[in-house]
Every structure is written in structure tokens, then in C-alpha cells.
Amino acid sequence: MMRTATTIEGSAGNWRELTEYVVEAERLGLDICWVAEAWGADAPSPLGYLAARTERILLGSGVIQLGTRTPVVIAQTAMTLAHLSGGRFLLGLGASGPQVIEGLHGVSFARPLRRMRETVQIIRAACTGGKISFTGDRFAIPLPGGEGRPMRLSLPPTSVPLYLAALSPKMLELTGEIADGWLGTSFVPEGAAAYFTHLDTGLARAGRTRADLDVCQGAEINIVADEHQLTEVLATRKRELAFSLGGMGSASTNFYNDAYSRQGWSDVAAAIRTHWQAGDRAAATALVTDDMVLATTLIGTEPMLRTRLQTWSDTGVDTVRLYPAGNTMRDRLDNLGRGIDLVRAIPAREK
């Protein structure tokens, strides 16, 4: 049976409502809550608080961004949260993009693939409780030529499941090779080969199979009553997708645009990006089709979503990360609860 997850982020700062939302989501039977980190609130702080307010639900960083902390600080954070939560923490890592890493943090975005591989190696070494000694292309611990000596963390050793957020082919291969799970987005089941071909290459390189990887895919869920309401919802969602394809990343790097391009929309994705970068938001939005939205979301009537979720399961998705729509917390929880019920009704798939 597929598991269910959701993601919260604290840019709005309404922590009381967010906490109530997560507590209620746990009561509804949600399996995992991921906490996002972009250019707003950090992820570890609310994760520690949520660990104290929940009992069963798994809690994950979705994601901690490379370059914003040293690998050992990430390891310390992960181990601390694992102990605080009683073993319920999942470490999600992502490379982010140059706009955030260089524009906000003042850290070079160069060679994210190598940085990710070495970061994971250092984190896993630190979690074992041994002395940390590492020499790579991006990191050297201890720093050569100084007075430092290999040290171990004083925290008790612990195993932390590690997920990578990946969209590019090489990062997908790395995910299959070294990660416990894949955090994906912009996922189209009919175009899943654009992702799974690279994931499977990495899995084979490490002597693993798909059964060794939790495929965690996310999508907005908005359960509508009829076709009229569906048309209204699609109109709103098109501008958000236009922003993802045209405004996310930088003028030369947009992983969302690349992902849509690899799944059959290369021409329209390029045109959307051109119009958005030129400042013509309306023209960019007008190019987004209904199919582009429906293919990568869980928007529709209940019968539509039952069929769609079955396709997700048949394609190989293990965990559905639901982003419930709604103007109020009650609306969002209603969408989430109904989504959880729909996922639970999908027959279990052999991995």
C-alpha cells in the first residue's frame, strides 16, 4: 500500500495553525510530514517542535539545502532530530539552485553533484560514531595544514534514512546509487521513464533494485465536485505552473523547466520561460494547457483521482506527498483527509 505524506513551510509564520494542521493530519492517518526550507523559515527548528507535539508520524526535512551548512552540521542536526523524535526523523537533502545558494547565501553553486555525494558520505560517517576523516574534491576534514585532528561527535550513533530531492539525470542516478528515498516533483506517470531510467542506472551501479528506494512523489490535491469547478481550479493553477517553469531558478538554470521538457513539453516549456523572463506573465500563463496541470497534479473529481492514483501506484510510486488546496485550514484538512482515504483504497503493489 502506498504511504501518504504532506509538506509544510513556514514563510507565513503562522506556527500555531501549522502545528494544529500537522497534529490533525497525524490523527487522520498521515504517514509522513516533510518541512520545507527555501528562503523562508529553516526546517530543523519546526521539526524539533513537531517531534514534541506528535507521537507516530514520521518527520522529514524536505529539504535541507546543500551549501547552507557544513556536512557535519547537517549530521549533527539529523542525529539530534532522530533522538528527539524517537527515531521518526527522515533527512531530506537538496542542491537547491544558484538563485538561492549564490544569491541568498553567498556560496558557490558549482559542482552540486560532487558536493551532494561527498556530503552524504560525511553524514553517514558521522552517524556511525567514529572519528570523522575525509578528503574529497569539495571537502577536507580535518582541514589540511592546520592544527585540527579527526574528531567524533558526542551524540550516540544512529541510523537516519536519507532522501535526495532530484530532477536532473545525474542527480537522479546518484539518488538511485546512494539514497534511501527519492523526493521528486513535476512527475508525470506517463513520462516516468524520464526519471526511472536514471534512478535505475544508479540502483544497478550499487547492486540495488527499486525495492531498496522509497519513491516519494508530490502533487497538489484538490478534490472538486464537478467539471465547472474543475475549470475554475485549473485557471488558478496555470499561473503557478507558469511561475515554476519560467521564474524558478535563474536565467540559465531551471530544474522544473528541464523536468517538463524531458516529459514531452520541451517547446511549450521553453516558450513559457521566454515570456516569463521577458516580464510577460500573462503570455506565459496562457501557454499552460489543462493537460500540463492535470498530468502533474491530483486535481479532479473523486472518480478521476481514483484512476490517477492507481496509475501512480502502477508506475512505481511508493509514497504520495499531498499538497492539499484550500483557503482555510479546515478546507485543506478536508482535501487531505479525503486524499488519504483515496490512497488507502488503492490495492497494494508488489515491489
pLDDT tens for 229-267 read: 998 889 888 888 898 888 886 667 787 788 788 878 889
Work out whether the CA dihedral 140, 144, 146, 149 comes out positive or negative: positive
Q: Which of 111, 109, 110, 112 is nearest to 101 (CA)?
A: 109
Domain extent listing, the chain: 3-222+301-345, 225-300
Mean pLDDT of 273-301: 91
- Cα–Cα distance, 255 to 96 (Å, whole number): 9
Length of the chain: 351
Mean pLDDT of 337-348: 96
Q: Could you tell me the three cell numbers for 2?
A: 502506498
Mean pLDDT of 36-42: 88
- Cα–Cα distance, 112 to 97 (Å, whole number): 9
For residue 42, pLDDT beyond 70: yes
More confident residue, 237 or 51: 51
Q: Could you tell me the three cell numbers for 279?
A: 516580464
Confidence label for 22 from pLDDT (cuts 50, 70 and 90)? very high
pLDDT computed for residue 237 by the predictor? 86
Terminal Cα distance for the chain, rounded: 10
Work out whether the CA dihedral 197, 198, 202, 205 comes out positive or negative: positive
Q: Which CATH architecture has domain 3-222+301-345?
A: Alpha-Beta Barrel (3.20)
pLDDT computed for residue 251 by the predictor? 65
pLDDT computed for residue 254 by the predictor? 82
Assign residue 129 a region (left: φ > 0; alpha: ψ between -120 and 50; beta: otherwise).
left
- Cα–Cα distance, 23 to 18 (Å, whole number): 9
pLDDT tens-place string over residues 55-84: 999 999 999 999 999 999 999 999 999 999
Average pLDDT, the chain: 93
